[in-house]
């Protein structure tokens, strides 16, 4: 790892280390900011002692990051438009990274301090959108092209629908438990259990389910939120030291050959579907190898881009043999071909079978650009895991006692946690970032309504206010910081 940073100018090295510190600080804060959501019910119901619950939550967050993959990481990265991702330079990369991280950290710390279960996912996404929009205004790019709006809409849908699903599903699970075992002790609150049964802890099986589901929430939280940190670090590395990280330099000859074959098959795919795609891609009209000096992702330049990429990869058995400039060039070609293929997949007229083939080709195209070194994954896992072990008290009380007018029963805790673990796990499968905070707190609210406990209007309004304000606040803050940073850089 150390050799990757050798030969850098002192100011670039210092900036890089500072940027990495910022990202890991964000993940550390994310750890203690969101941990309370993962362990709130298990602590409140006395299923586990607080420090033991937080320790094991940290361990499972750590494991979630290690085993979670990078699908969500690059869903976050691709919120920025492909033009910004392929043309970022060191100064621009620094301004972008520091602006969005400073905005995200400031908002996370503020909401944590006041004990508000705000979403780190909303915070980070708002910060990235702010940078993209500010870059568009500064660079005289249309606002519609300043952000990858299709990806933003997909993520927004997951962020909006997941809490609604959490509310409804958790309520249904609780109603199912009440129908199945209406007289069970699992429908008691910890206070009722202590007064009526003179026992501190939940019944054994309820306790076991609470513990397992809490660790499940911690694991999927680590997988989902940890990947956001991984995506941020890859943005930092690609933006500041692109020569070393635009491509996976550890790619095997077979992986490079797969990339080359995917490019060739993509060309054949377009020729096969020329009747449908010919006009959109200007097939047969652009001259081979005729790319403009100022490279941009233009579907009309697809054929020249394919030819240029095949020429660049001809005879290449390892990416280290390419010059730094050539590596950046190859990544540009791959990102643009993938971006165009994604647009092609949404065009009418393509058969479902052809769309499935195109999706497989896209995975092969991006296999050596959408990656993360193991040390990046490990660093994020450690930051999130260690952050998990501090700062949890402020939000536990909000989740346990301030959402409903009555305390939470064991059954409510189980319902909310099982729902949250399943919802976030499904989001991981589809590479969609979701908010652990809002899925779990809405699940708790759903169980309160199903239990006819009522909701505390003040707390619910505060959570909803944070949910509504987080995006515009972080968009504005990161955009302002990015503008200031670009003025400073000059």
State phi, psi for 95 to the nearest 5 degrees.
-60, -45
How long is the chain?
490
Cβ–Cβ < 8 Å for 159, 434: yes
Angle, CA of 246, 16 and 256, to the nearest 5°: 15
Residue-wise pLDDT for 430-468, tens only, equals: 888 888 878 888 888 888 888 887 676 666 777 777 777
Lookup: tokens for 162: 């997941």
Cα separation values, 35 from 21, 219, 343, Å? 21, 11, 38
Inform me whether the pLDDT recorded for 490 exceeds 60.
no
| Residue 316: φ, ψ to 5° | -80, 125
Which residue bears the tokens 């779990």?
A: 440
pLDDT (0 to 100) of residue 46: 84
* Token pair 């997988």: residue: 223
Highest mean pLDDT among 303-317, 406-420, 445-459: 303-317
State what percent of residues in the chain have pLDDT above 70.
88
> What distance in Å separates the CA atoms of residue 237 and residue 250, rounded to the nearest whole number?
16
Would the pLDDT of 201 be above 80?
yes
Residue that wins the pLDDT comparison between 189 and 390:
189
| Burial label, 325 (beta-carbon count in 10 A; 0-12, 13-18, 19+) | exposed
More confident call, 294 vs 260: 260
**Residue 191 pLDDT class (50, 70, 90 cuts):** confident
- Average of per-residue pLDDT across 478-485: 91
Whether residue 181 is predicted with pLDDT greater than 70 in this model: the reply is: yes
Burial class, 10, CB count within 10 angstroms (exposed 0-12 / middle 13-18 / buried 19+): exposed
Q: How far apart are CA 295 and CA 298, in angstroms?
A: 9
pLDDT for the residue numbered 208: 94
Residue 254 · residue 317 · CB < 8 Å: no
Please, which residues have CB within 8 angstroms of residue 393's CB and are 6 or more apart in sequence?
36, 50
Distance, CA of 409 to CA of 268 (rounded, Å): 60
Q: Environment class of residue 130 by beta-carbon count within 10 Å: exposed (0-12), middle (13-18) or buried (19+)?
A: buried
Helix, strand or coil, per DSSP, at residue 455: strand
pTM for the whole thing?
0.84
Name residue 455's beta-bridge partners: 404
Q: Count Cβ atoms below 10 Å from residue 9 Cβ, excluding itself.
A: 9
Beta bridge partners of 404: 455
For 144, 188, 322, 342, the CA distances from 345, given in Å and listed in that order, are 20, 52, 31, 5
């Amino acid at each position: 790892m150390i050799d990757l940073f050798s030969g850098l100018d002192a100011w670039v090295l210092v900036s890089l280390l500072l940027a990495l510190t910022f990202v890991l600080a964000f993940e550390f804060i994310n750890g203690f900011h969101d941990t309370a959501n993962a362990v709130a019910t298990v602590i409140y119901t006395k299923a586990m002692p607080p420090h033991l619950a937080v320790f094991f939550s940290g361990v499972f967050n750590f494991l979630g990051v290690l085993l979670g993959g990078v699908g969500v990481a690059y869903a976050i990265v691709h919120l920025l438009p492909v033009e910004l991702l392929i043309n970022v330079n060191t100064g621009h990369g620094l301004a972008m990274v520091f602006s969005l991280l400073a905005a995200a950290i400031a908002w996370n710390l503020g909401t944590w301090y006041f004990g508000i279960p705000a979403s780190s996912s909303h915070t980070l996404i708002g910060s990235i959108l702010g940078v993209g929009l500010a870059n568009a205004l500064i660079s005289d790019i249309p606002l519609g092209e300043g952000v990858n709006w299709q990806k933003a809409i997909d993520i927004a849908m997951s962020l909006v629908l997941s809490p609604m699903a959490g509310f409804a599903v958790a309520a249904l699970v609780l109603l199912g438990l009440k129908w199945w075992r209406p007289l069970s002790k699992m429908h008691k609150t910890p206070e009722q259990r202590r007064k009526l049964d003179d026992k501190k802890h939940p019944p054994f099986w309820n306790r076991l389910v609470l513990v397992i589901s809490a660790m499940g929430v911690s694991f999927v939280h680590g997988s989902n939120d940890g990947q956001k940190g991984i995506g941020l670090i890859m943005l930092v590395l690609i933006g500041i030291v692109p020569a070393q990280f635009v491509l996976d330099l550890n790619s095997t000859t077979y992986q490079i050959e797969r990339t080359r074959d995917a490019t060739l098959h993509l060309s054949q795919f377009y020729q096969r579907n020329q009747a449908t795609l010919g006009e959109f891609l200007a097939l047969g009209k652009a001259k081979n190898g005729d790319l403009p000096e100022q490279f941009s992702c233009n579907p009309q330049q697809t054929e020249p881009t394919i030819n240029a990429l095949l020429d660049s990869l001809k005879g290449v058995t390892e990416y280290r043999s390419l010059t730094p400039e050539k590596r950046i060039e190859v990544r540009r070609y791959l990102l643009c071909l993938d971006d165009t293929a994604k647009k092609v997949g949404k065009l009418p007229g393509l058969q479902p079978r052809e769309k499935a083939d195109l999706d497989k080709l896209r995975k092969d195209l991006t296999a050596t650009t959408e990656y993360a070194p193991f040390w990046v994954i490990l660093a994020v896992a450690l930051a999130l895991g260690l952050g998990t072990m501090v700062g949890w008290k402020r939000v536990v009380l909000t989740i346990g006692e301030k959402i409903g007018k009555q305390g939470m029963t064991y059954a409510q805790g189980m319902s909310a946690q099982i729902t949250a673990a399943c919802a976030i796990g499904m989001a991981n499968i589809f590479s969609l970032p979701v908010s652990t905070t809002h899925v779990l707190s809405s699940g708790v609210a759903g169980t309160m309504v199903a239990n006819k406990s009522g909701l505390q209007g003040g707390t619910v309004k505060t959570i909803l206010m944070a949910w509504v304000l987080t995006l515009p606040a972080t968009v504005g803050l990161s955009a302002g910081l990015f503008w200031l940073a670009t003025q400073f850089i000059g």
